[in-house]
Every structure is written in C-alpha cells, then in structure tokens.
Amino acid sequence: MPNLHRVVITGIGAVTPIGNNIDEYLVGLQKGTNGVSDITLFNPEQHPCKFAAEVKNLQSEKFIEAKESKRWDRFSQFGVIAAKQAFYDSGLEITEANSSRIGVIIGSGVGGLLTMESQAQILSHKGPKRVSPFTVPMMIPNMATGLAAIALGAKGPSSSVSTACAAGSNAIGDSFRLLQLGKADAMICGGAEASITPLGVAGFASAKALSFRNESPQTASRPFDAERDGFVIGEGSGILVLETLENAQKRNARIYAEIIGYGTTCDAHHITAPSPGGVGGAKAIKLAIEDASLSLEKVDYINAHGTSTSANDKNETSAIKSIFKDRSYLIPVSSTKSMTGHLLGGSGGIEAVACILSLTHNFIPPTINYVNPDPECDLDYVPNNARETQVGVALSNSFGFGGHNVCLAFSKMN
C-alpha cells in the first residue's frame, strides 16, 4: 500500500436555488431559506407538478461571455460558474508548469436536457438541416468538465461521472482518490444539473417521484416528515477545489477542511428503488468511516440524501441506525434538500459545500417543513431552525437511481 497523501479543501463555489455564491448560500442555510416556487423556466400549465427550485437572478455574464453562453447548455453554465468561484476562492494559479497536475471532474446525472429537448423539437418541426451544430457538445454530460478545464487551463486528470443523484459525490470521491495516490496536485470537482425542463419534470412526475403539492409548493419538500409525497426538482452546481496537503501548504493556501473518507457501493437491486433497509447505503457509510479511520463517536453531523420520498427517507434512516446503533439518536441528521430541492447529479456538490460550511461556521443546517414526525423516521432531523454547535466531522450521503450509493467524510483540520 503506497503512502497516501492527505487531501484538503481550499476553494468552494455554489450556484443554488437559495444563493448564487458561497456567501449567499451560507446565509440561506443558516436562515432556513426556502428556494421552491412556481416554475418560470417554461409554462407548466399542462403538468401535474407546477413548481420547482430554480436558480434565480444569476448574473452569468460576470463569468461567461454572452456569445459563449449561447453555445453552452444551462447545466454547463452552472458548472463553470461554480468552478470559477471555487478556483478564484482557492487562490490557485495554473501555469504551463503545473497544468498537467491539476484536473477536473464534474458529475451530472442528466447533462444537457434542455438542449436535447429544444433540438428534438427543431428536428421534428423544421427538419434535420436546422439542427444546431452545437447540439452534441451542448448536451453531452461531460461538457461541464470540458468547459471548466478549458476556461481554467487545467490539463490534468479529467472525466465526468454520471451516477444519477450520486454523480456529484462520486466526482468528489474519485478526485479525492487521485490526490491520495499522488496522481494530481489539485482537482476541481463536484456536480452540476439543470433538468427543470418540460421533459424532465414530466418524466419524474410520471414516475411518481415528485411532490404534487401545487397548492402549497413551499411546503412540498419535507424530508422525513410523515406527510412527504415526493421530491422537488432543483438545479444548480456545487464545486470544490481539493489539493494535497503538501501542495496547499507549499503555497500557503487557506484550508477550509479536510476530506478523510469515501465509500461507494451499488445496491444491484432495482432501477429506482433503494435496497430494503438501506443496506447498500449503510455499506457506503461504513466504508467511508473505515476509509477515514474514524470511530463512530467522532461523527457530529450527517447531511442526509433526504429526498422527501417515502422510500428514500425511511431506508436512509434505517441505514444510519444500522451503522450507528443507539448513537444514531445523538447525531444530528438534516436534509438541505428541504431548502434547495433535489439537484439530482448536482446535489452531492452543494451538499458537500454545506458540510464544509457547517465545519467552518459551527452550525448545522435545518430540515425545514418538518412538522409531522414519522414513526419510521425517528432521528434528530434538526427541524426547521439551524443549530449552533461545534462540528468536527461531517458525513454527506448521496444515493442515486440504479442503486448508486456514496458517502463522503469531512473533518476540521487537525
């Protein structure tokens, strides 16, 4: 076994339904801001679900030239903007000498769905000659990675992960492994998604995955609540700059926190439903804890996958209890999806950022809209209000269609 490098977080960026930069996102998490509202990105009149958690008032021209943005799908724009935020925040410089040691991995569950839909309509109504030559590079899910690498000049390890709602977390975990093994000095990583489109909303609605609480959309995302009826689709991106500790120290970088563990598994059970009792998720949590050489008593906070669907929340609760036993009731577990909605492949990125903010600002984000306790979900879900407390170690869970499970472990620097 080679000597593994320690890996730290030196930059963070976020584009979310409750804030378009880190300062706004932090305030949103601390205040329990609700990012859900009626859909404005298209006319939802014919849809059974008419609300979502949209990114609002994003000034993309600060990061992307207007001419370029027309050639980029919305998910890529989110990814590049969050990547630039994180990169500038880190103070990292990319030169010809170090560019091959700095890489990018940005996950997306769906990719350029808006482009795919709009160009399919053009094909249907106007014929193949009217389809844009930018169609393929706009819709393929690796393009957020490619465009971020081009924008920043990162020539190191570069890939894209597409493991549904676990994609952003897998991207961070895979980047962590590359750095541990000395295959890179820094990685720009996370997730990006923009699937609030007619097809995206209709598809999830037909699968009975969404909440249909049209009369009260702001109360629709209610993880672990007994009256939860489905998730609220969201959009955005969360990106981290990870570096080996040696590289960060060499340039006297500010260090937010350390990433110490990564566990990933597959249920091999069903295309959408989690394995009974959350067995696969529990194994991912166990692997992350073992990877970090953590005792169970050290875990201070779990950022849950917490989608607000009946099956996920019940099974995730079971997974946590199977690992932590009686101590499960002493660990705060919250779902920031109650505020941001479910960003699909982008969720792991913004939730990793939430964990880092929790560590650095010593608070736990709330699970808002938690009103009616569910006997099958009986942990401390930090209901409705953020909690000020010391946080030394935080876990982030992400589980995706296809049975993909990820757990990431973060800690304060020791």
Active site residues: 165, 305, 342
Domain 7-250 matches domain 263-411 at the CATH topology level: yes
Q: What is the pLDDT along the chain (414 residues), one digit of tens a residue?
A: 568 999 999 999 999 999 999 999 999 999 999 999 999 999 999 999 999 999 999 998 889 998 888 899 999 999 999 999 999 999 999 999 999 999 999 999 999 999 999 999 999 999 999 999 999 999 999 999 999 999 999 999 999 999 999 999 999 999 999 999 999 999 999 999 999 999 999 999 999 999 999 999 999 999 999 999 999 999 999 999 999 999 999 999 999 999 999 999 999 999 988 889 999 999 999 999 999 999 999 999 999 999 999 999 999 999 999 999 999 999 999 999 999 999 999 999 999 999 999 999 999 999 999 999 999 999 999 999 999 999 999 999 999 999 999 999 999 997
* Nearest-angstrom CA–CA distance, 271 and 132: 33
Q: Residue 406's beta-bridge partner residues? A: 264, 398
Q: What is the DSSP string of 76-136?
A: HHHHHHHHHHHHHHHT----TTTGGGEEEEEE-SS-SHHHHHHHHHHHHHH-GGGS-TTHH
222 closest CA partner among 314, 295, 307, 304: 307
- The CATH architecture that domain 263-411 belongs to is 3-Layer(aba) Sandwich (3.40)
Rounded to two decimals, the pTM is 0.97
Q: What is the DSSP string of 301-323?
A: EEE----S-HHHHHHHHHHHHHH
Q: Residue 301's beta-bridge partner residues? A: 394
Confirm if 90 and 146 have CB atoms less than 8 A apart.
no
The domains of the chain are located at: 7-250, 263-411
Q: Which CATH class is domain 7-250?
A: alpha beta
* Nearest-angstrom CA–CA distance, 57 and 19: 9
